[in-house]
Amino acid sequence: MARMAHYAPTEGGETVFTVSATSMKFGAGCLAELGGDATALGMSRVALFTDKHVREIPPARTAFESLERAGLDVAIYDEVKVEPTDRSFMAAADFAREGGFDGYVSLGGGSVIDTAKAANLYATYPDEMLVYVNAPIGLAKPVPEPLRPHIACPTTSGTGSETTSVTVFDLVKEQVKTGISSKHLRPTFALIDSDTTRTLPAGVVASTGFDVLTHAIESYTAKPYTARSRPEAPGLRPFYQGANPYSDIGSLEAIRLGGRYLARAVKDADDCEAREHLIFAATLAGTAFGNAGVHIPHSMSYSVAGLNHTFTANGYERDNHMIPHGISVVVNAPAAFRFTAEVAPERHLEAAEALGADVTEDDLAAIYKDAMRYW
Ligand SMILES: [Fe+2]
């Protein structure tokens, strides 16, 4: 009952929420079915986006062989940059434009999936980089029509990019992270194969797992959709509508799964049960925040990551110095949640309880210290 009371009508407030999500296939071994799914979407000449590390591990072979077995013409792009930039996006777009592809597959973490989204956009509807970028940094020109079909195959259990309609990058000149938002950026289909996370280094599982937890907690504690103004026309309703009864279901379950399995998944790469639950949590949280939105920890993360280029995180030694997204979000999360808890204490207590905290304590700060003991 407390949850529904959270959505009590407000004067002039929104009364409607929408649910958008990528169609997806989930389960161990489903990546081997990629070729059939690409064919079903009408692909014949496919751009396979990945990065140099993922290209060397078994999922890349599985994906490539499945596409070849289906008789598709495949070109691989492995120049994706972890934490992509405007320059790396445009280099990928050049590859996409010159290749004349009728379909895209992304295999990797959020950086790979986001790069494929951008390459698909700028190859299908070419324009200057900043034209589609969110205002006030860019011109926020709407993407005119659907893009080429895109199958996203995540190999990390974190970003949820396979389910979202945004792509994020560093605008190097301005030293800021920004992005592009459009329903047309949402991948057409996602193949979520828990086997792909078996070879992930512990540090990457930790960082991407923090991303899962913050997506879920931020979505659950976001401003309720009923507290926002009702738009003048249905088309003006934002993707990120605020917390709503649908996003709550995925958020709470993702918090529960993260609380139960994140530490196990980090400690033991052979703990298939933990890693499978974590990638499921990532998908639930991705779908939740893709509809509800996130708030302060993610906003602050852009400054953290945009201003520091000297840090090397465990598991990311191959990459240029940078703060992985999950780390840049989580460092400020406990302070941010203590701040937002003053406005909606019940929601924060429910989130802390789902994470595994003993919420019989009187002191909210102590509860969070316990709940976020991994942080
Ligand atoms: Fe995130």
CA of 215 to the centre of ligand 1 (A): 6
C-alpha 113 – ligand 1 centre gap (Å) = 13
pLDDT of residue 311: 81
Q: How far apart are the C-alpha atoms of 139 and 180, rounded to whole Å?
A: 10
- Find the 171 Cα to ligand 1 centroid distance in Å: 17
- 296-307 helix and 333-340 helix, angle to the nearest 10 degrees: 150
Ligand 1 centroid to Cα of residue 137, in Å, is 20
How remote is the CA of residue 237 from the centroid of ligand 1, in Å? Answer: 22
Query: For residue 12, how far is its CA from the centre of ligand 1 (angstroms)?
Result: 31
Expressed in angstroms and rounded, the spacing between residue 345 Cα and the centre of ligand 1 is 23
CA of 209 to the centre of ligand 1 (A): 10
Which ranges of the chain have pLDDT less than 50?
1, 374-375
pLDDT of the residue at 219: 97
Residue 375: the pLDDT is 40
CA–centroid distance, 329 to ligand 1, in Å, is 7
User: What pLDDT does residue 99 have?
Assistant: 97
Q: Is residue 201 reached through a cis peptide bond, with omega within 30 degrees of 0 on the bond before it?
A: no
DSSP conformation letters of 219-285: HHHSPBGGGSBPPSSGGG--S---B-HHHHHHHHHHHHHHHHHHHHHHH-TT-HHHHHHHHHHHHHH
Pairing relationship of beta strands 166-171 and 176-181 according to DSSP bridges = antiparallel
**210 C-alpha to center of ligand 1: Å?**
9
Candidates 113, 111, 148, 117; CA nearest to 132 is: 117
Task: Kindly give the distance from the C-alpha atom of residue 69 to the centroid of ligand 1, in angstroms, as a whole number.
Answer: 35
CB 97 within 8 A of CB 144: no
pLDDT of residue 160: 84
Residue 365 is predicted with a pLDDT of: 64
CA 36 to ligand 1 center in whole angstroms = 30
**Whole-number pLDDT of residue 304:** 87
Q: How far is the CA of 227 from the centre of ligand 1 (A)?
A: 24
Q: How far is the CA of 159 from the centre of ligand 1 (A)?
A: 5
In the reported structure, the alpha carbon of residue 326 is separated from the centroid of ligand 1 by a whole-number distance in angstroms of 6
**Separation of CA 373 and ligand 1 centre (Å):** 20
Q: How far is the CA of 283 from the centre of ligand 1 (A)?
A: 12
For residues 119 and 97, what is the distance between their CA atoms, to the nearest angstrom? 8
Decide: helix, strand or coil at residue 64: helix
CA of 214 to the centre of ligand 1 (A): 7
What's residue 372's pLDDT? 60
Give how far Cα 368 sits from Cα of 338, 339, 353, 365, Å: 8, 12, 10, 5
User: From ligand 1's centre to the CA of 7, what distance in Å?
Assistant: 25
The pLDDT tens digits of the residues spanning 213-249 come to: 999 999 999 999 999 999 999 888 888 999 999 999 9
* Nearest by Cα to 20 from 281, 295, 290, 293: 290
pLDDT of residue 374: 46
41 vs 150: CA distance, rounded Å: 9
List Cβ<8 Å contacts ≥24 apart for 60-68.
Answer: 60/107, 62/31, 62/32, 62/34, 63/31, 63/34, 63/105, 63/107, 63/153, 66/31, 66/32, 66/33, 66/34, 66/35, 66/36, 67/34, 67/35, 67/38, 67/105, 68/35
pTM for the complete prediction?
Answer: 0.89
Q: 11 CA to middle of ligand 1, Å? A: 32
> Please, which residues have CB less than 5 A from ligand 1, an ion?
211
